[in-house]
Amino acid sequence: MTVDRSAAFLFMIAGYVAGAIVALIAPSDRIARGATAIGAASGSVAGLVTALAVLATGDRFELVRPDMIAVAGGVAIQLDSLGALFLALVCSVGLFAAVYGFTYTADYDGRRSLRFFGLMFNAFLLGMSLVPCAANVFTFLFAWELMAVASYFLVMTEHESSDARAAGLWYAAMTHFGFVLLLPMFLIMAPAAGATAFVDLRAGASALPPAARSTVFALALAAFGSKAGVVPLHVWLPRAHPAAPSHVSALMSGVMIKLGVYGLLRVTSDFLGTGPAWWGGLVLAVGSLSALGGVLYALTENDLKRLLAYSSVENVGVIFLGIGAALVLQSYGLPALAMVGFGAALLHTVNHACFKTLLFLAAGNVLRGARTRNMEQMGGLIKGMPVTAMAFLIGSAAAAALPPLNGFASEWMVFQALLSGAQIAKPEVAIGSPLAVGVLALTSGLAAATFVKAFGISFLAMPRSDAAAAAREPHWSAWTALGAFAAATVVLGLFAPSAIAAMYRIVESVTATPRNVTGGGGIWLLSAHGVAAGAVPPPVVTKLSPRKGSPSGGTSVKITGSAFTGASGFDVRVADTWGCGRIRQTARMEYTSSAFAEPLRRIFSELYRPTEDFSVSVHPEARLIIRSITYTTRIVPWIEKALYEPVTRGARAIAASVRRLQAGSVHLYLLYIAAALMAALASAWWFE
């Protein structure tokens, strides 16, 4: 089957643009919602076709229009297999987010305009789809900025809440911080290349002096790292992702931050190629910091969507660990092993996109059902929302890197990549690689605790609020997206070896490494047992599935006992939870989210540095009569405070002094205009 790729590509753009325009001029909210979903879905399908056609054949797809916007270098599109992988991710999440969004945004009907939202949603998808296709600086920056601006407006959807406005401000500031770093990065590369097309940049990068190459690398790491949300540039992420509507959060966490990973891979492994070992070391350090920092803050978070956002920080850290290991191995002349690292990073990118989309969409259902993001007011949701609960459970187990789900496969690969560091006989590697292994293991252990908390507190036991007790499943169309990503999470786990092989093919086409991974020649740890991760899951599945299957027959727990008793052949009596003789059980006796995290919070209190506020108010006459006791404790990430407070304070001071110009007097403004004109003329004369 041959696909006309340029037609598919143009259809993708047309779909998004049409969706945006029709949504904007739609006569009613319902039509606007429909147009948004149909435009986004058809664009995504076309994009998916384009991406899969490139991935299947492996040859690039090009579309260069130098005449369009010629001043800036024209529009150039080129899709190689690395880009196609990311395009496929964007479009598959985009497709289901669009379907999900159709009913999800119905809550906004009549409350706020969905026309502008539809425009921005499609623009966001267009921007994200173009980023991996861009083949020159102008196209790339255009797509990057389109993505940033559109997502800013999406974060601001619920702009009446001050949280959303603060989130928008942080997001706008951090995304432009990244953009500002991208410009000098391209500026350093462009003169040597003589042109702005990526092909020329690639050719010119090898001619750059080492210092310039390292500067380019550092700028790329900071710029793309801020988009990917690595610590300490992650500050926007836990604010912006929860503020957006849930399907937008899924897009942001699932794929947008991955485009930061794409950018880093494009610049380092594609343009720059092999660099000094400290590049990899730096990426490993950043990755460790993000993985551990992200999961530690996720653990103590009580807001379900913020917890998921912090978990994204953690997973980006895991991806960076893979990239870092690969860069180190590459610089020591072990390209075949470096491939394990790059493959691990790509696989985790794909896997995280699947399970995080699943989790965010399930959280969206919870948000609509229980009307809160605070886990302390949830509980018992598994009874009213069995499908959402199942989806969230699968996502949680994958996020906790448990076999046989996909999160395990890619973390296993990252472990193997880090272990390969043993091939390098250098003391710094000898100390660094085991430490990174320790960090990754601690991260996955803490992730397991985090997701036991997230699922257990939100979905199990008794409801902690009336809204949680009344929560029901949303419209069935929301299940299609959940089903698709749950299936992808399971399938990618079961068929991990095929997925790994596919990632290797992509890495190979980018880094031009000769392929001997499957042959096993000289490949440590992946020898006789092939990719052993894949060898293990099958027996697990055959043994688990009949058993796991039987209780799922008892999912409708309302017919308690009977369904399950018959199946397993023993008597089950339903009774109260044992409670030391108290009369009845209430939700107040349950363990809370804060209580669950308390032991780890105490153990890592040096890192959290919680603030505690304890006040007792007593009767004015008698100090022994206590009226109330309040205890509040908060964890304010002190790293953020230490790093960003001076910056924001400085920015405020500058803004305050600039404000003095705005005196409100028309005469003064006329003077400014005159002065500006004089200055412009004077400078024109000077340069003449």
Partner 1 sequence: MSRAIAILFQTLLAAGLAPLVGGFIRWVKARLNGRRGAPPWQPYYDIQKLLGKEAVVSRTASWIFRATPFVVFSTSLVVASFVPLVAAPAGRFIAGDLFAAVYLLLLGTFFLALAGLDTGSPFGGMGASREMTVVALTEPTVALSIVALALNAGSTSFSQIVSRTLAEPAAALGPGHLLAFAALFIVTLAETGRLPVDNPATHLELTMIHEAMVLEYSGPYLALVEWGASLKLFVFLALAVNLFMPWGIAVSLAPIPLAIGLVTFVVKIGVLATAIAVLETRVAKLRLFRVPELLSASFVLALLAVLSTFLAR
* From candidates 570, 631, 685, 687, binder to partner 1 by CB under 8 A: 570
Residue located via tokens 């691990």 = 344
Per-residue binding letters, 238-277, with partner 1 (x by CB under 8 A): ----------------------------------------
Give the chain's largest Cα–Cα span.
97
Under DSSP, is residue 64 helix (H, G, I), strand (E, B) or coil?
A: strand
* From candidates 206, 498, 560, 562, binder to partner 1 by CB under 8 A: 560
Least distance between partner 1 and beta carbon 406 (Å): 13
Least distance between partner 1 and beta carbon 291 (Å): 12
Sign of CA dihedral 205, 211, 214, 219: negative
Q: Which is nearer to partner 1, 222 or 329 (CB)?
A: 329
Q: Is 308 in the site for partner 1 (CB under 8 A)?
A: no
Among the listed residues 484, 193, 524, the one whose alpha carbon sits nearest the alpha carbon of residue 339: 524
| Near partner 1 in 599-618, by CB under 8 A | 599-600, 602-603
Task: Determine the interface stretch with partner 1 among 65-73, 272-280, 551-559, 663-671 (rule: CB under 8 A).
Answer: 551-559
Among the listed residues 598, 655, 644, 651, the one whose alpha carbon sits nearest the alpha carbon of residue 239: 644
The CA-based angle 50-56-62, given to 5 degrees, is: 45
Residue located via tokens 């030391």 = 580
Helix axes 162-193, 210-228, angle to 10 degrees: 160
Task: Determine the interface stretch with partner 1 among 69-77, 81-89, 468-476, 549-557 (rule: CB under 8 A).
Answer: 549-557
Q: Which is nearer to partner 1, 132 or 403 (CB)?
A: 403
* From candidates 7, 187, 512, 544, binder to partner 1 by CB under 8 A: 544
Among the listed residues 51, 79, 255, the one whose alpha carbon sits nearest the alpha carbon of residue 151: 255
Least distance between partner 1 and beta carbon 328 (Å): 15
Q: Is the peptide bond before 232 cis (omega within 30 degrees of 0)?
A: yes
Distance CA 438, CA 648 (A): 35
* From candidates 249, 590, 608, 637, binder to partner 1 by CB under 8 A: 590
* From candidates 25, 68, 70, 589, binder to partner 1 by CB under 8 A: 589
Distance CA 587, CA 380 (A): 10
Could you tell me how many residues of this chain bind partner 1 (CB under 8 A)? 91
Distance CA 591, CA 379 (A): 10
| Near partner 1 in 81-140, by CB under 8 A | none
What is the number of residues in the chain? 688
Q: Would you say 457 and 378 are in contact if contact means Cβ atoms under 8 Å apart? A: yes
Q: Is 540 in the site for partner 1 (CB under 8 A)?
A: yes
Q: Is 11 in the site for partner 1 (CB under 8 A)?
A: no
* From candidates 58, 66, 551, 610, binder to partner 1 by CB under 8 A: 551
Least distance between partner 1 and beta carbon 567 (Å): 10
Least distance between partner 1 and beta carbon 363 (Å): 17
Residue 189 vs residues 137, 198, 327, 665: alpha-carbon distances, Å: 10, 10, 20, 47
Q: Would you say 379 and 272 are in contact if contact means Cβ atoms under 8 Å apart? A: no
Least distance between partner 1 and beta carbon 171 (Å): 31
Q: Is 559 in the site for partner 1 (CB under 8 A)?
A: no
| Near partner 1 in 428-457, by CB under 8 A | 430-431, 434-435, 437-442, 444-446, 448-449, 451-453, 455-457
Q: Is 78 in the site for partner 1 (CB under 8 A)?
A: no
| Near partner 1 in 624-663, by CB under 8 A | none
* From candidates 65, 475, 515, 543, binder to partner 1 by CB under 8 A: 543
Residue 545 burial class via C-beta count within 10 angstroms: exposed 0-12, middle 13-18, buried 19 and up: exposed
Least distance between partner 1 and beta carbon 491 (Å): 18
Least distance between partner 1 and beta carbon 470 (Å): 16
Q: Is 550 in the site for partner 1 (CB under 8 A)?
A: yes
DSSP for residue 62: E
Least distance between partner 1 and beta carbon 527 (Å): 6
Q: Is the peptide bond before 404 cis (omega within 30 degrees of 0)?
A: yes
Q: Which is nearer to partner 1, 588 or 634 (CB)?
A: 588
Least distance between partner 1 and beta carbon 350 (Å): 19
Task: Determine the interface stretch with partner 1 among 175-183, 278-286, 344-352, 561-569 (rule: CB under 8 A).
Answer: 561-569
Q: Is 598 in the site for partner 1 (CB under 8 A)?
A: yes
Cβ–Cβ contacts within 10 Å for residue 190, how many?
17
Q: Which is nearer to partner 1, 161 or 550 (CB)?
A: 550
Least distance between partner 1 and beta carbon 203 (Å): 39
Least distance between partner 1 and beta carbon 655 (Å): 44
Q: Which is nearer to partner 1, 174 or 398 (CB)?
A: 398
Q: Is 555 in the site for partner 1 (CB under 8 A)?
A: yes
DSSP for residue 79: E
Distance CA 485, CA 480 (A): 9
Task: Determine the interface stretch with partner 1 among 110-118, 241-249, 567-575, 663-671 (rule: CB under 8 A).
Answer: 567-575
Residue located via tokens 């350090």 = 285
Q: What would the DSSP string read from start to end of 593-659?
A: HHHHHHHHHHHTHHHH--EEEEEEEE-SS-TTSEEEEEEEEE---HHHHHHHHHHHHHHHHHHHHHH
Give the up-direction half-sphere exposure of residue 229: CA atoms within 13 A in the CB hemisphere.
30
Distance CA 93, CA 252 (A): 10
Per-residue binding letters, 364-403, with partner 1 (x by CB under 8 A): ---------------xx-xx-----x---x---x--xxxx
Distance CA 293, CA 290 (A): 5
Distance CA 253, CA 644 (A): 23
The β-bridge partners of 633 are: 612
Distance CA 88, CA 79 (A): 11
Q: Which is nearer to partner 1, 584 or 627 (CB)?
A: 584
DSSP for residue 266: I
Q: Is 548 in the site for partner 1 (CB under 8 A)?
A: yes
Q: Is 470 in the site for partner 1 (CB under 8 A)?
A: no
Q: Which is nearer to partner 1, 203 or 557 (CB)?
A: 557
Cβ–Cβ contacts within 10 Å for residue 605, how many?
11
Distance CA 280, CA 272 (A): 13
Among the listed residues 73, 315, 318, 290, the one whose alpha carbon sits nearest the alpha carbon of residue 199: 73
Per-residue binding letters, 159-198, with partner 1 (x by CB under 8 A): ----------------------------------------
Q: Which is nearer to partner 1, 28 or 586 (CB)?
A: 586
Least distance between partner 1 and beta carbon 297 (Å): 15
Q: Is 460 in the site for partner 1 (CB under 8 A)?
A: yes
| Near partner 1 in 510-529, by CB under 8 A | 524-525, 527-529
Q: Which is nearer to partner 1, 61 or 451 (CB)?
A: 451
Q: Is 279 in the site for partner 1 (CB under 8 A)?
A: no
Give the up-direction half-sphere exposure of residue 243: CA atoms within 13 A in the CB hemisphere.
26
Q: Which is nearer to partner 1, 212 or 437 (CB)?
A: 437
